[in-house]
Structure 1
């Protein structure tokens, strides 16, 4: 015959009561099961897009769509509108506009650092902001797409101030490229096409120390809509690391 609760020692009685109560809770559906908490996902770092000469924020329409499809909220994506966009003012003027746009994006999102995707002349304006106006600590990753970092012979076609600055061996470029480590802890990527007829020579788009990729895209302007370039840009900024 099984012993009753009365026959058990006090510790044994307490253990037996606990077992009975647990079984009753399971049977009646009253057992409290800890809720599974979803694994927190890292926030997407805000991205600032910077266009080039004769371009507009709309130049990034395909790339912005790709970032949204990859999970970036719209409010964390911003394409700055530089004015004027035709090279009639020096690159330094554009850099101040980028600084204002970057600080606005940081303030709206509460982010300490942002990522920057820049195209063509926009890469030089972004670099000037980062290197000369104190923007580098604010940038986690910088993606340069077809930037004339060492000048382009196509800039001899016009005499506008920004174009003069983009000529090979210009005073502006010598000053911008004088430092050995201008980007500090910012991760830098350089994407370019050997078939570029706007950045001449095409390898002027290379940046020392950058993670470099070449894409056989037929024209300078097509770099922003090429699926492979877009995919590589999203991939570069999607890698997990502290913002």
Structure 2
């Protein structure tokens, strides 16, 4: 039977490593090394991002695992080329992927990781749609043999909606064939998970936009979805509720990591923060935006395909001003793989990433200093709308990829404004970015603040084809 408990009320137990927290850190005592069995190696973890997202969202989660002693070379993340689900799972749609394609991509990555590491099993951790692929793989793709533990953060296991007759061909319909099949009871107890894999779900108590009883986020405000905040839970899994988290935070936040770590090891994490590296080595790919065949002028659907020929410059900048501190510290024109690195950064140093590519705005991306190395620092070239490019002034984008902005809960501001454009001030949190238009003026610092994290950049002229992005890390 499932168990539902607050994160802080969880009982400590011995996890699959069979080690206490001290043993995880130190191994067997040296004086008893000849008598104690060797510690089991950490199994590989494969992270699976959500709908429309990228592997880059797992950067801070990976840093937390590394800080607690999980080897970096045992951490992997898929980057689905077309991460958006189809409107109808059975109907081909340009630039989108089916549930079967998603599962096949994950299966191939698991097999690659197992071969590369020599491991017989992996741990799968997914957010949102990523959990659909995990469940599908374990149920239909042979994952019962290869997956020891499955962790789903915010996965809409019983649908984003469960309205009979409404878009039932969609992967997120709770009454449609995809989820109905995955949720079919496995036994007399009504379990919805497949063994011997061990399962954990993490959900919010009320603040997940895709586990909401009201249809506002599916274009049907005021109408019931027949889904509740408990929709991500699964019978037969261990189900954890963490108060106040938004949809993405159920996978990418510190509290979600703590739940994952306890589930895998049976112990609480030993450290509260992320261990800093003096010279983080960064790598990633430059991607763009696909053209929408139904509205080519919009050109805005997401993909994770490389953007060959894109040019990148990196500048060290003042953390409080975004002002460049000299010549570029790294330059590259990317090839067919889209890879822009490697680049060795300095601990505590803020950087500006400038992406130039035909058909795109010159994108000035400012980020907080990097705490540790990562191969998932993916950068996306952005486009300006036609009206934005014609209007004198600047366009400033403030984005939080690993969570949403919630003015009721968070302390935030953009260029001194406490109200962010496009971010609801009431109801369930559901906006991860804000887009602010600034009047024409001399170049100056523009600053975004969120719960103590500050990112500073510069205003660049939109009429000259430039766009400023301030990206939060946490």
TM-score by length of 2: 0.40
- Superposed CA offset, 1:55-98 (max 9, x none): 11111111101111111111110011112012122111100000
Supply the distance in 1 between the matched residues of 2:79 and 2:117 (Cα, whole angstroms): 19
Supply the distance in 2 between the matched residues of 1:204 and 1:148 (Cα, whole angstroms): 6
Relative distance call for 1:154 and 1:131 in structure 2 (3 A) is closer
Which structure dedicates a bigger proportion of its chain to strand? 2
Counterpart position of 2:182: 176
Which structure dedicates a bigger proportion of its chain to helix? 1
Shift in Å at residue 225 of structure 1? 3.2
Matches within 5 A, 1:4-15: none
Question: 5+ residue gaps in structure 2?
Answer: 1-29, 86-95, 213-227, 268-474
Shift in Å at residue 222 of structure 1? 2.4
What secondary structure sits across from 1:205 in the alignment? coil
Question: 5+ residue gaps in structure 1?
Answer: 1-34
Relative distance call for 1:37 and 1:218 in structure 2 (3 A) is closer
- Superposed CA offset, 1:91-129 (max 9, x none): 111000000111111111111111111110110111111
- Superposed CA offset, 1:217-239 (max 9, x none): 34212223321111111221224
Supply the distance in 2 between the matched residues of 1:133 and 1:82 (Cα, whole angstroms): 17
Supply the distance in 2 between the matched residues of 1:218 and 1:234 (Cα, whole angstroms): 18
Counterpart position of 1:59: 57
What secondary structure sits across from 1:206 in the alignment? coil
Tell me if structure 2 keeps the 8 A contact 1:154–1:198: no
TM superposition outliers: structure 1 runs of 4+ over 4 Å = none
TM-score by length of 1: 0.77
Supply the distance in 1 between the matched residues of 2:263 and 2:157 (Cα, whole angstroms): 20
1:127 aligned to which of 128, 132, 135? 135
Counterpart position of 1:165: 171
Tell me if structure 2 keeps the 8 A contact 1:83–1:94: no
Instruction: Identify the structure with bigger relative contact order (alpha carbons < 8 Å, sequence gap 6+).
Output: 1
Counterpart position of 2:232: 205
Between Structure 1 and Structure 2, whose CA radius of gyration is higher? 1
Aligned pairs, how many? 203
- Residues 1:228 and 2:255 aligned together: yes
Shift in Å at residue 154 of structure 1? 9.9
